[in-house]
C-alpha cells in the first residue's frame, strides 16, 4: 500500500501529454534548470525543521492514543484532542514555516536572510512558548498560557517584520511577485488569530458572535489564513518544480491573490461580529473564488509536467482545505442537516486537518529531509549540482506514496469524517474504526520513509 514510487531522474520518466503551450519540448537541461531557485542564498536545514518533524512523530503517537481512547482501551485524557491537533498545526506546520518562510523570501528577493544566531534564539523562544502554552491550556494555568501565547505572538510579529524588511530592501521589482504577497499576508493574519486565542481560553471576551464566533474566527485566521496562505504561496512557486514544468498561468496566480486577501478579512471579522450571513459569507465566496483559480492552476501544471507520488498527494490534498466551507451555508443560513452544529463545526475541521494540513506537512517534511543540509555552501561544493539550493531537489524527487495509497488515505479521511458526524449511530464505528486505522498506518509509514530518506541521503553524502 505504501511504496516508493517514481524516484527516477526526470529524463528517465515518461511524461504525460503536454497541455501547457508554454512548456512545449524543453530539453532535459532546461527542465532541470526550471527547478533551480533564483540567485538568492541557498536554503539550509535549521532546528525548526528538525522540531517540525519531531512534532509530526509526537502527533502520530497522540493520534494512536486517541484511537485507543475512542474504544475505551486506555484511560481518557481531556486535553488529548486539542493537543493532537495543535501538535501538527502549531507544532509541526508552524515550525516548518518559521524555518522555511524567511529563507524562501530571502532567496526569492535575492537578499540575505536572518543570521543563524538569530534563528537559534527564535527557535528556543518559540518552542519554550509552545511548551508553556500547552501546559497552561492542558492543566488550567491561565498565566502560563498567556505568557506562552504572548511570546508566540511576539515571535510571529518578528516573522512578519523579517518578510517586510526583506521586501523593503529588495531591488528590481521582485517584491511584486504574488508569492511575496502571500508570505506577507500569512503571518499578519496569524497575529489576529493568536490574539483571539486570549479571549478563547484565558480571558472571557464578550463579543457579538459569542465564544463560538470567536473560536470560528480563530480557526479561520490560523488555518485558512496563516497555514493556508503560506502553503498556497509556496506551492504556487515550488509545485511546478516538483513536476518539472512551468506554472500554468502567472495571470491566474496574480488574480487569485487579491481574492484571497479580500476574502480572509471578512472570514476572520464576520464570526466575531456575529454577521455570518453577510460578512462571513462574502469572505467565503471571495476566498473560494481565489481557491478555484489556485487549484485549477496547480491541476493544469500537474498535467503539463512529470507526475510523481508526492506531487499527486499534495494536489489531491488541496481539495480538502475547503472541506469546512462545504458545510458553512447550512450553518450560516440555518438549513437543518440532522447533525448537531458543534459536531458539524468540529467534524469539518477534521477534513482540513487530516485531509489537507497533514499531507502537506508530511510532503514538506519529506522534501526538507531529502533536499536541505545544515551547511549548504559547503555541501554544494564546486560541482554546483544545485541539489541543496532549493526545497525541491534537481534530481530524484522523493515520492513515498503512489495512487493506491493516496486513494486509500482520502477515502479514510471521508470515512472518519462521516463516522464523526453520525457518532450517535451504531454503524459509525464501522467507518471511523477502519478509516482511522488506515490513516495511522499510512501516517506511520510516511514517517518511517522520511527517516529512511534522510539516512540514505546522509550516507550518500558521506560516501561521496
* pLDDT above 70 coverage of the chain, percent: 81
Q: Are 309 and 401 in contact (CB under 8 A)?
A: yes
What does pTM read for this prediction? Answer: 0.84
CA distance linking residue 244 with residue 45, whole number of Å: 23
The pLDDT, as a whole number, for residue 457 is: 63
What is the pLDDT confidence band of residue 20, given thresholds at 50, 70 and 90?
very low
- Determine how many CB atoms are found less than 10 A away from the CB of residue 192: 20
CA distance linking residue 151 with residue 139, whole number of Å: 19
Q: Give the Å distances, CA to CA, from 291 to 46, 111, 236, 414, 438.
A: 31, 30, 12, 21, 29
Tell me the average pLDDT across 276-295.
93
| Predicted confidence (pLDDT) per residue in 367-402, tens digit | 888 777 775 444 443 334 433 456 777 666 777 778
The pLDDT, as a whole number, for residue 332 is: 67
Q: Give the Å distances, CA to CA, from 116 to 42, 104, 203, 362.
A: 13, 15, 36, 25
**Residue 304 in grid coordinates:** 503539463
Q: Are 372 and 44 in contact (CB under 8 A)?
A: yes
Q: What angle do CA 397, 304, 296 make, to 5 degrees?
A: 105
User: Residue written as cell 504572548?
Assistant: 150
| Predicted confidence (pLDDT) per residue in 53-69, tens digit | 999 999 899 889 888 88
Tell me the average pLDDT across 334-360.
78
3-state helix, strand, coil in the chain (%, to 5): 75, 0, 25
Q: Are 218 and 196 in contact (CB under 8 A)?
A: yes
Q: Are 39 and 110 in contact (CB under 8 A)?
A: yes
Q: For the chain, what is the mean pLDDT?
A: 83
The pLDDT, as a whole number, for residue 11 is: 38
Report residue 463: phi and psi, to 5°: -70, -30
- Least confident stretch, 21-35, 176-190, 191-205, 382-396: 21-35
> Cα 19 to the chain's mean position, in Å?
28
Amino acid at each position: 500500500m505504501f511504496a516508493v514510487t517514481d524516484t527516477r531522474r526526470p529524463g528517465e520518466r515518461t511524461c504525460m501529454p503536454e497541455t501547457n503551450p508554454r512548456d512545449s519540448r524543453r530539453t532535459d537541461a532546461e527542465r532541470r534548470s526550471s527547478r533551480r531557485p533564483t540567485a538568492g542564498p541557498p536554503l539550509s536545514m535549521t532546528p525548526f525543521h528538525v522540531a517540525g518533524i519531531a512534532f509530526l512523530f509526537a502527533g502520530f503517537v497522540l493520534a494512536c492514543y486517541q484511537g485507543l481512547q475512542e474504544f475505551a482501551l486506555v484511560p481518557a485524557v481531556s486535553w488529548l484532542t486539542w493537543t493532537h491537533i495543535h501538535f501538527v498545526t502549531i507544532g509541526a506546520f508552524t515550525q516548518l514555516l518559521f524555518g522555511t518562510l524567511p529563507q524562501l523570501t530571502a532567496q526569492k528577493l535575492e537578499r540575505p536572510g536572518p543570521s543563524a544566531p538569530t534563528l537559534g534564539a527564535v527557535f528556543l523562544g518559540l518552542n519554550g512558548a509552545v511548551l508553556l502554552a500547552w501546559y497552561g491550556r492542558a492543566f488550567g494555568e491561565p498565566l502560563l498560557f498567556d505568557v506562552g501565547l504572548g511570546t508566540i505572538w511576539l515571535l510571529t510579529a518578528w516573522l512578519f517584520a523579517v518578510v517586510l524588511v526583506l521586501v523593503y530592501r529588495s531591488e528590481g521589482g521582485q517584491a511584486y511577485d504574488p508569492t511575496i504577497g502571500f508570505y506577507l499576508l500569512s503571518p499578519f493574519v496569524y497575529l489576529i488569530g493568536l490574539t483571539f486565542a486570549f479571549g478563547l481560553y484565558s480571558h472571557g471576551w464578550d463579543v457579538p458572535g459569542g465564544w463560538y464566533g470567536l473560536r470560528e474566527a480563530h480557526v479561520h485566521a490560523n488555518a485558512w489564513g496563516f497555514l493556508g496562505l503560506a502553503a498556497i504561496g509556496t506551492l504556487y512557486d515550488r509545485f511546478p518544480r516538483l513536476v518539472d514544468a512551468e506554472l500554468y498561468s502567472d495571470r491566474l496566480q496574480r488574480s487569485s491573490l487579491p481574492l484571497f486577501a479580500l476574502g480572509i478579512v471578512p472570514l476572520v471579522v464576520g464570526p466575531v461580529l456575529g454577521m455570518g450571513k453577510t460578512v462571513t459569507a462574502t469572505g467565503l465566496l471571495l476566498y473560494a473564488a481565489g481557491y478555484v483559480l489556485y487549484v485549477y492552476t496547480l491541476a493544469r501544471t500537474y498535467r503539463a509536467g512529470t507526475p510523481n507520488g508526492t506531487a499527486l498527494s499534495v494536489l489531491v490534498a488541496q481539495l480538502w482545505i475547503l472541506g469546512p466551507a462545504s458545510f458553512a451555508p447550512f450553518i450560516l443560513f440555518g438549513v437543518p442537516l440532522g447533525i448537531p452544529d458543534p459536531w458539524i463545526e468540529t467534524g469539518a475541521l477534521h477534513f482540513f486537518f487530516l485531509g489537507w494540513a497533514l499531507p502537506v506537512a508530511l510532503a514538506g517534511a519529506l522534501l526538507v529531509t531529502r533536499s536541505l543540509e545544515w551547511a549548504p555552501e559547503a555541501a554544494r561544493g564546486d560541482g554546483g549540482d544545485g541539489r541543496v539550493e532549493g526545497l525541491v531537489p534537481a534530481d530524484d524527487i522523493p515520492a513515498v506514496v503512489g495512487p493506491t495509497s493516496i486513494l486509500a488515505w482520502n477515502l479514510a479521511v471521508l470515512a472518519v469524517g462521516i463516522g464523526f458526524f453520525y457518532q450517535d449511530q451504531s454503524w459509525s464505528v464501522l467507518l471511523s474504526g477502519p478509516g482511522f486505522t488506515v490513516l495511522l498506518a499510512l501516517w506511520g509509514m510516511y514517517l518511517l520513509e522520511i527517516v529512511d530518506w534522510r539516512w540514505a541521503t546522509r550516507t550518500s553524502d558521506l560516501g561521496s
